[in-house]
Amino acid sequence: MSFLAMYNATINPDATGAPPALPVIPPATLEPSSSTSNTVATPTFNHKANKEHERRDLTNQRFAELQQLVRKDYNGKMSQADILKAALKAAIKTKREFYTDPRSRGVHTALEKTEHVAIQYLKSSNLPRPTYYITSRRVEKMFEDFRDIFMPVFIPKAAPESPPAPSATGPSASEDAEMARKEIRAKREQARRDNQSDGFGLLKQFIDENKLVKRGDQKIHILECIIAYLKWSTISQPSQLTASEFVVGFTQGRHIGQNLAAAFFKSDAQLSTHTEDLHKFFTTHLGAIDPASQAVEFKFDKDSVLNFMALHPAILDLMARITPPPTVPSTPVPTPKFHRPWE
């Protein structure tokens, strides 16, 4: 089936049931920090200030705990807004992993693995560190957008648009230098607060949509709920990982993911010469793909396809042209026919 035919089938999909809701996660049972368990009596006039200090300490502790769950080696220094964004991505990934369809789960697991191997290749390519960080984030974003084509699990009700932080340009001669510096600092602080507020808002939306249990709507409660959700996912692995449908989906997902990564490399002038080495790197770390593997039919999400094409206009076209490096079989075999959803 051509990519156009599959896209048209998406517009008029068969009536299917919605994916089952996630299991309800029990309330977060996080231990309070030591700073709150041994509170010393203070004068009345300092009570409010001490409470605020304890609240900030506990919030910072939860941010540090959440960062350990979502941090990746190319993240560098993460602000609290960065941690919130990474937490939302991790929560979406967890929801995909617990989707009940083994074939879809296989595709998403394979895409995760090919994304990881592609980033590992970038790390081993001796790129300048800033280039490695920027390119790794681009690869991560592209795979994230592509996974939405198969199963969008979270759509923000309103895409937050926080104003960018002002540049550090100096004031003109007619401006008072000190007042200008204060204004710049105030705008930067407001941008930081807006970004953090957006992050908490999206996490709260995810929690409410998936009916996760939280103790309240305060920021500390949102952090504790997401931490408990991500920790739960590490000990409650999805079942049927050896089912035949999972294996079929995984094989097809690897084929798609490797061609997606190769298309990204071909679209980048600095990386285009590395495409053949990338294929070899995939084979070394993931093994060769069985050419006789069963093809898989997928239904695409129409809005996500349009979104991906707008964000990455050259990728789908390049994927349709890519052929993996030829291999010479030991004995002649018939040419297998693959179903490639991007053609």
d(CA 135, CA 128): 10
Q: Is the pLDDT of residue 244 over 70?
A: yes
- Tokens 């790129």 map to which residue? 127
State the pLDDT at residue 149. Answer: 76
Mean pLDDT of the chain: 73
* Residue 175 within a domain: no
Q: What does the pLDDT average to over 275-303?
A: 75
Q: pTM for the whole thing?
A: 0.53
* Phi and psi angles of residue 104, each rounded to the nearest 5 degrees, phi first: -65, -40
Closest to 149 in 3D by CA, of 343, 295, 339, 6: 6
State the pLDDT at residue 335. Answer: 42
Q: Is the pLDDT of residue 26 over 60?
A: no
- Give the confidence band of 76 by pLDDT, cuts at 50, 70, 90: low
Contacts of 46 (CB under 8 A, 6+ apart): none
Contacts of 7 (CB under 8 A, 6+ apart): 300, 302, 305
State the pLDDT at residue 35. Answer: 45
Closest to 96 in 3D by CA, of 192, 289, 233: 233
Q: How many domains does the chain have?
A: 1
- Give the confidence band of 289 by pLDDT, cuts at 50, 70, 90: confident
* Strand locations in 205-306 (E): none
Q: Which amino acid is at 42?
A: T
State the pLDDT at residue 326. Answer: 36
d(CA 219, CA 216): 9
- Tokens 């995760």 map to which residue? 112
- Give the confidence band of 321 by pLDDT, cuts at 50, 70, 90: low
150-195 pLDDT, tens digit per residue, is 666 665 665 444 445 445 455 454 557 778 888 888 888 888 888 8
* Residue 329 within a domain: no
d(CA 235, CA 79): 28
Residue 273, CB-side half-sphere exposure with 13 Å CA sphere: 3
* Residue 39 within a domain: no
Q: Is the pLDDT of residue 217 over 60?
A: yes
Q: Is the pLDDT of residue 20 over 80?
A: no
Closest to 206 in 3D by CA, of 233, 187, 225, 179: 225
d(CA 334, CA 256): 22
State the pLDDT at residue 336. Answer: 40
* Residue 41 within a domain: no
Q: Is the pLDDT of residue 118 over 70?
A: yes
Q: Which amino acid is at 40?
A: V
Other Cβ atoms less than 10 A from the Cβ of 248: the count is: 18
Could you list the residue range(s) of the whole structural domain that residue 233 is in? Answer: 3-12+46-158+199-321
State the pLDDT at residue 100. Answer: 57
Please report, rounded to a whole number, the percentage of residues in the chain having pLDDT higher than 90.
Answer: 12
State the pLDDT at residue 189. Answer: 85
Q: What does the pLDDT average to over 119-124?
A: 92
* Residue 24 within a domain: no
State the pLDDT at residue 95. Answer: 80
- Give the confidence band of 38 by pLDDT, cuts at 50, 70, 90: low
